[in-house]
Structure 1
Amino acid sequence: MSTDSTSKDADLPYPPAPWHLVGTLYASLWSIPLKDLPLPLPPGTRPLTLYGRTLIGTAWAVYEPPGTLSYDELLVALRVQSDNRTCTYVPLIWVDSPASVAGARAMWGIPKEFASFGKRITDDSFEASAAHGDNVFASLNFRPRVSLPGRWPLRTSIVQTHGEGVRLSRARASARIETGRAEWHFATHSPLRFLGNYTPLLSARLSEMKLTFGL
C-alpha cells in the first residue's frame, strides 16, 4: 500500500481501544544472524540477541466475529529491549481491513498496510497467501501435529515508533495451542525475503484465541 493511500485511511473511522479480537493465529519462530536483520528499530531500543543471533516471529491471523473487527493479518515481530523492559516490536504488518489500518496507526503506531488475502482452511491444514494486486509476496502452508492440554495465557508489551518518540501498549491473550509444520514462501520482491534462507525453529496454531489489544 502506498504512503498516500495509507494517509487517506488514517482519516477512516475505527473502533476505540481496547480491541477484543477472536480467531486463530498461525505462528513460527525463526533464529537469524543479527547482521541479516534489515528492519529499523524504534528510538532507544535494541534487539535481544544470543551469540549474534536474534529471534523473529511471523504470524498469520484470522480474526472473526464476534470480535471488535474481522480481518486477516500477516505480521513480523521481534523482541527488543526498551528502557530496561523487554517488549515486542512489530516492524511489518499487513491486513485487509481499512479500519484496522487506520486504528493501529493512529492509536499505537503500528505500521499496518493493506493487502489482499486468500486462504483455504480444513481441520488438518491451513493454506494462505498475501498479495499486493496480482503480486503474491508471502504464502503459508500449516499442518497441525500435537495438541497441548488446556488454554495458554499470553501477555506482552508492544513498543512502536509513534511521532517523534515511542508508544507503549499492552496485549493479553489466551488460546489452545497445537504444534505443527509450517512452510513459508516469500517472493523475491517481498519485504520478508530476508527470511527465505532460513527454516522456522518451531511453529504452532493458536486456536479459539481471545486477544485484547491496546490496554
Structure 2
Amino acid sequence: MGYPPEPWSLRGRMYVSVWALPVAALPPIPPELASTVRVARIGGRALVGAAWVDYRPGGDLSYRELLAAVLMRQGWRSRVTITHIWVDSPASRDGGRALWGIPKDLAEIELTDTRAAASVGAEATIRGARPWLRLPIGFTCTQELGGRAKTTPVRATARCGPARLRWHLEPDGPLGFLHGRKPLLTLVADDFRMRFGAAPPSP
C-alpha cells in the first residue's frame, strides 16, 4: 500500500470560492448516493465550492490539489460530495480512492501565493489573502465507495480570512459549469491542521 492508513494528518494552506448555481447546472452526483444524501437547495439554487489546496510538509503527505464539491444534506445534517478532484501525488490519488471513494485523478498543479494553475483547463490569480483568526472547521464528506455511500469526518483548525481569486476556467473543461460565473465569496484557510478520516474500530 503506497499511502498512509486513515486518518490522515495534513497541514497546509487552502483557497476556496463558493458559487450559488441553478440545480440544473450542477455536475452529476453518483446515483448510489441518492438514498443517502440530496442536494441542499437554497432558494432554488445549490452551493458549489472549488478549492486550491497546498498540503505542505509536516503532515502525512505533501502535494497540491484542485477540487470542486457540492453541498448536500442528509435529513437536516449538511454533507459535502466531491465531484471533481485532481492531485499531483499518486499516493494521494490511490489513497483517496481506496479509503473514501474520492474520485481523485492526477494533474500537473502549480500553486504559489499569487497564482494557481492545473493542467485541466483551470487557473486563478490570487490577491488580498488576509488570514487573521484561527477557527475550528468541520464537515462530513459523503462519497460513493464500492456501490455504497461512504461518510467520512473531516476536522481542522486554520487561520481564516477573506481572499480574492480571479478564476479562469475553460468553458469546455471539466469545471466548465463554473465558467463565467462570479463566486459569492472567497476565503483563505492558512496554516491548517487537518484530520481527514477516522481510525478504524478496534478488533
TM-score of the superposition, structure 2-length normalised?
0.91
Could you say what the CA RMSD is over the residues aligned between the two structures, in angstroms?
1.5
- Residue 158 (structure 2) pairs with residue 172 (structure 1): no
Q: Following TM superposition, by how much is the alpha carbon of 1:147 offset from its aligned partner in structure 2, in angstroms?
A: 4.2
Using the aligned pairs only, state the percent identity: 37
Aligned counterpart, 2:116: 128
Q: Following TM superposition, by how much is the alpha carbon of 1:38 offset from its aligned partner in structure 2, in angstroms?
A: 2.5
Contact 1:59 1:74 in 2 (8 A): yes
Q: What is the aligned counterpart of 1:100 among 83, 92, 99?
A: 92
Q: Deviations over 1:147-194 (max 9, x none)?
A: 44x311011111001111110110101100120211111113311011
Contact 1:144 1:204 in 2 (8 A): no
Find the aligned partners of 1:23 and 1:203 in 2 and give their Cα distance.
17
Q: Deviations over 1:33-73 (max 9, x none)?
A: 11111322423221101121011111100011111000000
- Residue 172 (structure 2) pairs with residue 181 (structure 1): no
Between 180-189 and 159-168, report the one with greater CA deviation: 180-189
Structure 2 counterpart SS, 1:190? coil
Q: Following TM superposition, by how much is the alpha carbon of 1:25 offset from its aligned partner in structure 2, in angstroms?
A: 0.1
Contact 1:180 1:203 in 2 (8 A): yes
Find the aligned partners of 1:37 and 1:46 in 2 and give their Cα distance.
12
**Matching of residues 79-118 of structure 1 within 5 Å:** 79-82=71-74, 84-118=76-110
Aligned counterpart, 2:5: 16
Aligned counterpart, 2:201: none
Q: Structure 1: which 5+ runs fail to align?
A: 1-11
TM-score of the superposition, structure 1-length normalised?
0.86
Q: What is the aligned counterpart of 1:141 among 119, 125, 132?
A: 125
Q: Structure 2: which 5+ runs fail to align?
A: 199-203
Aligned counterpart, 1:7: none
Between the two proteins, the alignment pairs up a number of residues equal to 195
Letter in 1 for 2:11: V
Structure 1 counterpart SS, 2:121? strand
Contact 1:96 1:115 in 2 (8 A): yes
Contact 2:128 2:164 in 1 (8 A): yes
- Residue 66 (structure 2) pairs with residue 74 (structure 1): yes
